[in-house]
Structure 1
Amino acid sequence: MLGDSKAIVTNQPGIHEKLDEIVAKHLSHEFKKPYQAHTQAAFDEMNALVQAFLAKNPQGEVILDACCGVGQSTRLLAKQNPNGLVIGVDKSAHRINRNVEDHQHADSYQADNYHLVRADLNDFYRLVKAANWPVSKHYILYPNPWPKSKHIQRRWHGSAVFPQMTSIGQQLILRSNWRLYLEEFQQAAGQVGLLGDISLVEHESDSQEPALTPFEAKYLASGQNCYQLKLSRKSSD
């Protein structure tokens, strides 16, 4: 893959000065936006699958792959976790319905323990929270950023659904080619008791496994660094 992805440019010199204030506001105000009908229907379908899976596998792992795009990451996570159930969610029907075509790594996508669904995550997150899915790992992999300072509330950590999204999963794993985005999320997550570190994503060019997402492959091929933020719940001890 030839890399032609441009590096992110921002007018922010560092973490947004109003980040803590914005997060605090969302933590103190309930998000009451009505659910969209198509997301409620999509959730009901997925919830039936999750409950059936848990009935057969009480200790089974449920893994959520948010903003899954074409589902490459969902398929790879399903193969890596053969005893789990992986749910990939994206707002775009076009992306969800596309097939991943990577003949070099064709075997990497062979799994049957995953489902892809089109839904608005602002609603889907709240429904997952209300249903108390026992999610073990919650992935948010590229791209979201909105790098202009005035768009801080369009980034996940500045959004009204941040309290619900960060309450899902024993581990929350994010990847981005914009380190500042992850630094902001890391700081915001501290307000809800999630702690973790940022590390560099390393991928060998001759690896038998493909990059986790097409965006990751494109960024790496363009010579950009990709970073991972892995968050876990702070111990109550």
Structure 2
Amino acid sequence: MNNMPTGDSKAIITNQPGIHEKLNEVVEKHLSHPFKKPYQMHTEQAFNEVNQAVQAFLSENPQGEIILDACCGVGQSTRILAKKNPQALVIGVDKSAHRINRNVEGFEELEEQGNFHLVRADLNDFYRLVKAANWPVTKHYILYPNPWPKAKHLQRRWHGSAVFPQMTSIGQQLILRSNWRLYLEEFQQAAGLVNLRGNIEALPVDVKNALTPFEAKYQASQQVCYQLSLVR
């Protein structure tokens, strides 16, 4: 569907020998201290706009599904998920206006699908707004987030962030993918503290049908990509 990527992606290098020793301590701190940072105006405005579309969809489809595609980048995964789930409304969110507004070559026909929206927003705020609005999210995807592989950057990873309690309360199923297995192992351990359970599996190599450009590039570089699927 799209141009085949070149296999020039470098493997992740970390100074961590295993799961971060302070992971549980950091997660428990965030669980006991609610995240009360004021919302950024641009994210609150973007949420209000897309929430109108979500509420209109739910009004017409009371049993309709909402799928959240966090860190969606250029929105390739959002478009693919919309095509695979015509019964659902798929919301793709990324902090970069440049990525959100980029054309995705080879996916033009999916623009007519009509059951997805791309939103430029800060997920630290967007997650809290989704939680407050009680969207009926069935699947929540976090595909290839920035790994922040240095040990000192634990709190920049999603499972070490202050919004972790809210983000993990969204969706009946939470699905993460990464080419750094340790990231998923840490998230899996952190998720256990909020009663989410699941397994990590290696993904089959399928560059042509990769969900994201990063996934295609990693697989073309002979890197193994993994998926963590969590349920309550």
Please indicate the TM-score interval, normalised by the length of the shorter structure: over 0.9
How well do the aligned residues superpose, as a CA RMSD in angstroms?
A: 1.2
* Partner residue in 2 for 1:124: 126
After the TM superposition, list the runs of 4 or more consecutive aligned residues in structure 1 that deviate by more than 6 angstroms.
none
Helix, strand or coil at the partner of 2:54: helix
1:110, distance to aligned residue in structure 2 (A): 5.2
Residues 200-215 of structure 1 mapped to structure 2, 5 A cutoff:
200-204=202-206, 210-215=209-214
Q: How many Å separate the matches in 2 of 1:8 and 1:139? A: 21
* Partner residue in 1 for 2:224: 225
Q: How many Å separate the matches in 1 of 2:180 and 2:134? A: 31
Q: How many Å separate the matches in 1 of 2:109 and 2:60? A: 27
Helix, strand or coil at the partner of 2:210: coil
> Does structure 2 conserve the Cα–Cα contact (< 8 Å) formed by 1:79 and 1:110?
no
> Does structure 1 conserve the Cα–Cα contact (< 8 Å) formed by 2:206 and 2:219?
no
1:204, distance to aligned residue in structure 2 (A): 3.3
* Partner residue in 2 for 1:144: 146
Q: How many Å separate the matches in 2 of 1:11 and 1:77? A: 35
Helix, strand or coil at the partner of 1:216: helix
Of residues 154, 159, 162, the one that matches 1:160 is: 162
1:143, distance to aligned residue in structure 2 (A): 2.9
Q: Which runs of 5+ in 2 are unaligned?
A: none
1:203, distance to aligned residue in structure 2 (A): 3.2
Amino acid at match of 1:222: S
Q: How many Å separate the matches in 2 of 1:198 and 1:111? A: 31
- Residue 203 of structure 2 is aligned to residue 170 of structure 1: no
* Partner residue in 1 for 2:65: 61
* Partner residue in 2 for 1:193: 195
1:2, distance to aligned residue in structure 2 (A): 1.2
1:19, distance to aligned residue in structure 2 (A): 0.2
* Partner residue in 2 for 1:114: 116
Q: How many Å separate the matches in 2 of 1:110 and 1:18? A: 47
- Distance verdict in 2 for CA 1:36–1:230, change over 3 Å: same
Helix, strand or coil at the partner of 1:192: coil
- Deviation per CA, 1:100-124: give whole Å up to 9, x if none: 003xx66566521000010000000
Q: Which runs of 5+ in 1 are unaligned?
A: none
- Deviation per CA, 1:44-84: give whole Å up to 9, x if none: 01111111100000000000000000000000000000010
Q: How many Å separate the matches in 2 of 1:174 and 1:109? A: 25
* Partner residue in 2 for 1:77: 81
* Partner residue in 1 for 2:184: 182
- Deviation per CA, 1:33-53: give whole Å up to 9, x if none: 000000000000111111110
> Does structure 1 conserve the Cα–Cα contact (< 8 Å) formed by 2:57 and 2:89?
yes
> Does structure 2 conserve the Cα–Cα contact (< 8 Å) formed by 1:43 and 1:127?
yes
* Partner residue in 2 for 1:41: 45
> Does structure 2 conserve the Cα–Cα contact (< 8 Å) formed by 1:76 and 1:109?
no
Residues 82-101 of structure 1 mapped to structure 2, 5 A cutoff:
82-101=86-105
TM-score by length of 1: 0.94
Q: How many Å separate the matches in 2 of 1:163 and 1:87? A: 20
Q: How many Å separate the matches in 1 of 2:144 and 2:112? A: 23
Q: How many Å separate the matches in 1 of 2:205 and 2:89? A: 25
